[in-house]
A and B are shown apart, each in its own frame.
Chain A
Amino acid sequence: MPNQRREDMLPGDTVPISTRREFLRRAAIATALVSPAAFTGCHVLGAAGKNKLDFGDDFGLLNLMLVLETTEVRFYERVISAPPRDLRPGEFEILRDIKANERQHLRFLKRALGPLRVKVPASNFSSVDFTSRRSVLETARNFEDNGVATLNGAGRRVKLPEFLTIAGKLVSVEGRHAASLRDMLNPGSRDFAGDDVVDENGLDRAITPDESLRRSSKLLVNPPRIVGI
C-alpha cells in the first residue's frame, strides 16, 4: 500500500487537532499505548479496578468490548472445535470466518489496552446447546446484535475521535455478522435487518453499557459493574 494512501486512512487525519491541550492529551494516551512498560500506575488514566468497568474515560468502552469479544471468542472456538452436526453447507466456513474476525478484534483490544486491561470473567455457556445448530446460531446472533447496539450506543460517550473511528471499524463487521446469522436462521426473509432491530426511521439499536452487560450477564460468571457514567 503506498504511503500516501495509508496517510489518508489514518483516523487521526479525520479531525484536526485543534488545541495544545488536545494534542497533549492524545500524546499521553499514545505514549501509554506504545510503551506500556513505562506506564506504572493504571490509575493515571482512571483505568478500571477489580471487576469494574470505569467509563470515566474511553478505556471503559474498550474494556467492555474486551469482555464481550473474549466471551465471543471462547464461544466460537468451542463451536468450531465441535460444530453441531446439523449445520448446513457453507455454514461452518461462515462461523470460522466470524471466529477469526472476533479473534482479531480481541487482539487489537488487548494491545490497545495494554496494562489497562481488566480481568475478563469466566464464561457460562450452560444456556447453549452446542449440539444444536439453532441454539448455536441464536446465541451467535445475540452476541452480534448486542455488539452492534453496544458500539452504536457508545457513540454517546466516546471521547477520542480515534476510538470512535475504531468503534466504527468494528461495528460494521459485527453488523455483517449479525445480518448473516439472521439470514442463516431465517433464509430469504427480511430478518437480516428485521423490524425487531431496525426501527421505523431505519435506525439500528443503540444501548447503554449497563444494558449491554445486562443482556450478556447470563453468559458471564460474576459480571463486572459499570461505574463512572
Chain B
Amino acid sequence: MTPKRLLEADPELEQQLLTRREAIGRGARTSSSVAAGLAMGSVPVALAAVAKDAFAQGGLPGVIVDVLNFALTLEYLEAEFYNRGLAAPGLIRQEWRAQVDQIRKHEDAHVAFLRRTLGSRAVNKPTFDYTAGDGSGNGPFRDVFTNERTFFAVAQAFEDTGVRAYKGQAAYLMDNRDILVAALQIHSVEARHAAQIRRLRNQKAWIVGDSRGDLPPNTQAIYDGDDNRFHFILAQPASGISMTHSFDEPLTKGQILRIVAPFIVGGAP
C-alpha cells in the first residue's frame, strides 16, 4: 500500500498526522523523527515516529511494547528461516522460489517495521535452532535446510502459528489504534502466507478441525483448540466439518512461546 492509500484508508490517522503537522507548524516541540517522517511523506516512518514519541512521553503502555516485542521475536524467527532456506543450495525447487521470496520479503519488512516502531525498546534477535533441538542443532527437524519436505513442513508450522499468535494479541493493542491496525494488517498477510505454504504442500489452505494434517505429532499444539465452536458467547451449531474451518482461533502468548521454545537457543524469552 502506498502512503497515499494508507491516508485515504485511515481518515483518523490522517487527522492525527495533520494535527502533528499543525503542531509542527506552530513550532510545538515535536521530535525531529516525526518531522522527518512527515517531510518525506512517508506515513509508516511517521507512524513509527508517533509511536516512539508517545513512548518517549511515557504514553505507550508497557503492555503494547511487550506485545510488539513478542511479535518481533516471531518475525525474527520467520525472517531468518526464509533467508537461510533461500540461501541453501538446491533446497527449494526453482518454481517455488519466487513465492518463498515473496514471503521472505514480507517477513523482513515486518522485522524492520516492528523495530522502527519499538525504537530503542526493540528486543535483539535470539539465536535460532531450526531443527527444534533446543540449541543442539540435532532436533526432530535436523534436515530442515537440506530436505525440501522438512523445510516446507516447518514453514507451515511457523505460518499457522503466526496467524494464531497475532490473533491472540490484538485485544491488547486496543489503546493504540494505529498499532492495532498495523498488527491486523500483518496478521492477514501471515494468513495469506499460511494458505500458500499449505497449498504448495497439497494441504487445504484452511485448518480443518484441529488437524495438523501430515505434520508430525510434535506440531499438534499449533492446531489444538482450532476446532473451537464457541465464538463470543455463542456456540455455533454443529453442521459438519465446515463449521471448524470457517473460524481461525487465537492462542495465548504462553501457548505460542511453548510452541516456539525448542527453536530458540536458551529457550523462549
Q: Is B171 a contact partner of A206 (Cβ separation < 8 A)?
A: no
B255 to chain A, nearest CB (A): 8
Q: Which residues of A contact B112 (CB under 8 A)?
A: 201
Q: Which residues of A contact B44 (CB under 8 A)?
A: 200-201, 203
Interface size on B, residues (CB 8 A): 79
B166 and chain A: residue at smallest CB distance: A168
Q: Which residues of B contact A211 (CB under 8 A)?
A: 8-9
**Nearest 7 A/B pairs, CB to CB:** A175-B191, A202-B109, A100-B242, A104-B246, A199-B1, A172-B191, A203-B185
| Additional 19 contacts, C-beta under 8 A, given A201-B112, A203-B185, A204-B184 | A9-B228, A104-B246, A107-B237, A151-B184, A155-B183, A165-B167, A165-B170, A170-B247, A175-B188, A175-B192, A179-B193, A183-B199, A188-B98, A194-B102, A199-B1, A202-B105, A204-B185, A204-B188, A211-B8
Contact status of A9 and B250, CB under 8 A, knowing A97-B204, A156-B177, A189-B98: yes
State the main secondary structure of chain B at its contact with A: helix
Q: Is A180 a contact partner of B195 (Cβ separation < 8 A)?
A: yes
Q: Which of A5, A15, A101, A169 contacts B167 (CB 8 A)?
A: A169
Contact status of A201 and B98, CB under 8 A, knowing A153-B9, A172-B248: no
B190 to chain A, nearest CB (A): 8
A69 to chain B, nearest CB (A): 11
B195 to chain A, nearest CB (A): 4
Bound state CA distance, A48 and B242, in angstroms? 30
Q: Which residues of B contact A12 (CB under 8 A)?
A: 233
Q: Is B10 a contact partner of A153 (Cβ separation < 8 A)?
A: yes
Bound state CA distance, A1 and B193, in angstroms? 28
Q: Which of B98, B106, B250 contacts A11 (CB 8 A)?
A: B250
Q: Which residues of A contact B205 (CB under 8 A)?
A: 94, 176-177, 179-180
